[in-house]
Amino acid sequence: MRGAMSFEISGAAIDPDALKAALVQAGAGACVCFEGWVRDHNDGEAVAALEYETHAALAVKEGDKVLAEAAQRFAIERAACVHRVGRLEIGDCAVWVGVSAAHRGAAFDACRYIIDEIKHRLPIWKKEHYASGTSGWINCATRGVAAPT
């Protein structure tokens, strides 16, 4: 943890237990965690694996901003978020968000706020590799056009 708020881009597997432990605070009565996992299908296509690419410096800068906003808007104690980059397999944790707060309402709200903003604002891109052998870049508004790899 770099302090009360921590955002990281990681090329290594996410360790939810260690991240959750860093949220512990005597004044915290609630902890809400969200994990985004790689699933085996998207929009009717069988997905074999995912690849995430980022501009790390700008992603961290924007991620820190999102966490600071969450701390301003909601009565939380600590918040952390880690986003994976590189190739991920089905079932891998792609993104982890955790928030501790005195009460559950703020923890739920802040966690939802953080994951929604992270998905829409950070320079992170996702390429799906399909079971059919094709692949496509995905974005949060429209599905990518599959192209032969």
Considering the complex, what minimum distance in angstroms separates the CB of residue 93 from another protein? 11
Task: Determine which residue in the list 64, 69, 108, 127 makes contact with another protein, applying CB under 8 A.
Answer: 127
CB of 119 to another protein, least distance (A): 4
Does 115 help bind another protein (rule: CB under 8 A)? yes
36 binds another protein (CB under 8 A): yes
- Judged by CB under 8 A, the stretch of 11-19, 20-28, 67-75, 117-125 that binds another protein is 117-125
Nearest to another protein of 93, 102 (CB atom): 93
Contacts of 128 (CB under 8 A, 6+ apart): 42, 45, 47, 50, 135, 136, 137, 138, 144
